[in-house]
Chain A
């Protein structure tokens, strides 16, 4: 049976906006981060990694409350209490929201720590929002760790993309 897909791509402004306004310490990862870096491969959800420190978890909960999340794939009658304790007792959450599929991750395969991920990321202004975007090297490491067929395709494209960006940077520095 074919895997189901969401009925629509996410509304990124409505998902990233609350994270920024609530001051959540997060890094954009996954296919959308790849697209922000220049990938042409499609992505159907928004993935972010978040810092696990207590103050940040509190800010994350506020942002998730504003967005209006519920667990994706869970029975509608399964109780889900969105609070700091729930986030601290879990790590990675896959949500459905009024604005599309939204995954928030504390443990990211292929990356040693959030601090390592954040250190390699760059702040980009996206629609006026300051967003930390994961580096292509880290995106490649994450996709290699996930290692599904679509991830392997992305690795190939990200390698070519990273080569092209380095080639352009070198040409710029020499001119």
Chain B
């Protein structure tokens, strides 16, 4: 019908921000975890979800 069937590979696009991955991979494991914990604390602070019972740091 005038069209060619083409099979091939292309990078998977799962909507993942590769720049975030690039930034994380510049850090060592401890730095990544420090960043991750700080980010989680920010997410908790702005989350509308109810907070569970407290624990005393």
Residues in A lying within 8 Å of B, measured CB to CB: 2-12, 32, 35-40, 42-44, 96-100, 124-127, 131, 133, 156-157, 159-161, 163-165, 168
A156 touches B16 (CB 8 A): yes
B21 touches A161 (CB 8 A): yes
Residues of B within 8 A of A127 (CB): 30
Inter-chain CA distance A126–B31, complex, in Å, is: 9
Choose among A2, A32, A157, A161 the residue that contacts B36 (Cβ–Cβ < 8 A): A32
- If over half of A's interface residues share one DSSP class (helix, strand or loop), that class is named, otherwise mixed; here it is mixed
28 A-B pairs with CB atoms under 8 Å apart are A3-B49, A4-B50, A5-B49, A5-B50, A5-B51, A6-B44, A6-B51, A6-B55, A7-B54, A9-B44, A10-B37, A32-B33, A35-B35, A35-B36, A39-B36, A40-B20, A42-B40, A42-B43, A43-B40, A99-B55, A127-B30, A133-B29, A156-B16, A157-B14, A157-B16, A157-B21, A159-B12, A168-B25
Residues of B within 8 A of A12 (CB): 33, 37
Residues in B lying within 8 Å of A, measured CB to CB: 12, 14-18, 20-25, 29-30, 32-33, 35-41, 43-44, 47-57
B29 touches A160 (CB 8 A): no
Distance in angstroms from B11 CB to nearest chain A CB is 8
Inter-chain CA distance A37–B30, complex, in Å, is: 10
Residues of B within 8 A of A5 (CB): 44, 47, 49-52
10 cross-chain pairs, A with B, having the tightest CB-CB distances, nearest first: A9-B40, A35-B36, A156-B14, A40-B20, A38-B24, A4-B52, A160-B16, A42-B40, A36-B29, A4-B50
- If over half of B's interface residues share one DSSP class (helix, strand or loop), that class is named, otherwise mixed; here it is helix
Distance in angstroms from A142 CB to nearest chain B CB is 18
A35 touches B32 (CB 8 A): yes
B52 touches A36 (CB 8 A): no
Inter-chain CA distance A36–B12, complex, in Å, is: 23
Residues of A within 8 A of B29 (CB): 36, 124-126, 131, 133
Choose among A2, A36, A131 the residue that contacts B32 (Cβ–Cβ < 8 A): A36
Closest chain A residue to B16, Cβ basis = A160
Distance in angstroms from A120 CB to nearest chain B CB is 16
Inter-chain CA distance A160–B55, complex, in Å, is: 35
Residues of A within 8 A of B53 (CB): 7, 96
